[in-house]
Amino acid sequence: MNSIAIITKKKNKEELTKEEIAFMINGYVKGDIPDYQMSAFLMAIVCNDMTERETIDLTDIMIQSGERIDLSSIDGKVIDKHSTGGIGDKTTIVLAPLVASCGVKVAKMSGRGLGVTGGTIDKLESIAGFEVETTKDQFVEQVNKIGVSIISQTGNVAPADKKIYALRDVTGTTESIPLIASSIMSKKIASGADAIILDVKVGAGALMKNMEDARALAKRMIAIGAHYNKCVKCVLTNMEEPLGYAVGNGIEIMECIDTLKGNGPEDLKQLVLTLGSLMVSIAKDCSKEEAYQELEENLNNGKGYEKFEELIEAQHGDIHQIEVDPCVSIKSKKAGFITHIDAYQIGDIVKRLGAGRMHKDDIIDHGVGMTLAVKVGDFVLENEELVKVHFDSQDINIQEILDCFTIEQDVKEKSPLILEIIE
């Protein structure tokens, strides 16, 4: 076997054997296959897809590249959640402690940003001192003690995915159903949870741009879960506009705190409660309606925020020190209804400000970002604030930012946030 022949085979839309896929993945992890050949292999997959069997094989090879975490010593069912990534998607940071406040164990391994979408770990690192790296024993001990832990994917869990994930981020190979499915599910299966809830984003600000692709991705991940006898449920959610108002690492943490104190944006609350009701109903064997009510109560009575404080303290973060840069206000040039907010463009601008990576070894600027003042459907006056831009030393293009907001005289019907639940 040789890498050029395998790349050519996939380029020609032929189905690969498990041995051929393993040759490429394991060779890249060992350093025998260079970045440029792996990039070509990934691009061939992006262009020509993989069959369900190929995707399951790729997932299994990713899992076998490292260790599988045994969470059997955690008392109770362990429910995991993962998002395919969206603009302003800080859901896990609110959801994990809120679900844990209901007595459900949440052992969460999260990722960094991919493409224009932010990553949970990058966001948590904007909290001074917060430790995202830990040992497996410490991870399990913390979940048993306080019910929740959020850490970075460890080097020993699906290390093949970790290396390829970083390469995909900088080679334009992020938007691919088999690559997304195998990346997510290899980590989730290896991480040892009993059940997995997946938030599949759909729209301009997501990796999946339409419902057809989103359903295909959801069904592919459910099939992978079934292969490993794991309960997997997918919630398809709208990502035509940013989730919440904050986009950027530190300012998203601030919005999470507001939400856990009962003051956050309605769309973020709705998503957290929808995903959380699935997690709690599985773990506690109750109805989704009962689970939703308990979560809503804990969001309003402060128990969710108290659990969040426990989480931050357990991982040595200082909640009073969150990195956020100074901001400037950008205002509307005319009056009218906000009919569209370009989530992808906002994510791209924030990434270029320093919130994401252009190269694998780039250092994140946790303080940059945008805080929107409007959502789709709002009416604005001329010279009314549209957005605050948080930045340090970079230049900003005001017109480029204004172009993210479409303002018209007639209001348009707004699409729902929760599009479909596939169980």
Q: Which of 10, 81, 82, 357 is catalytic?
A: 82
d(CA 335, CA 409): 8
Q: Which of 168, 220, 357, 390 is catalytic?
A: 168
Active-site residue flag, 187: yes
Active-site residue flag, 215: no
Strands 195-202, 79-83: pairing is parallel
* Max Cα–Cα distance, the chain, nearest Å: 65
d(CA 192, CA 139): 12
- C-alpha to C-alpha distances, 76 to 72, 109, 146, 197, nearest whole angstrom: 9, 18, 13, 17
Q: Which of 149, 152, 183, 281 is catalytic?
A: 183
Per residue in 228-263, is it b (16+ CB within 10 Å) or e — as a string?
A: bebbbbbbbbbbbbbbbbbbbbbbbbbbbbbbbeee
Q: Is 11 exposed, middle or buried (0-12, 13-18, 19+ CB in 10 A)?
A: middle
The distance from CA 16 to its chain's CA centroid, rounded to whole angstroms, is: 29
d(CA 70, CA 212): 35
Q: Looking up tokens 């938007």, which residue turns up?
A: 175
Reading phi first (left if > 0) and then psi (alpha if -120 to 50, else beta), residue 74 is in: beta
**Whether the Cβ atoms of residue 142 and residue 100 lie closer than 8 Å to each other:** no
* Residue 390 phi, psi (nearest 5): -95, 120
Active-site residue flag, 267: no
Q: Which of 105, 163, 187, 201 is catalytic?
A: 187
Write out the H or E segment, with its range, that includes residue 308.
helix 303-314
Q: Which of 57, 80, 89, 161 is catalytic?
A: 161
The catalytic residues are: 82, 161, 168, 183, 187
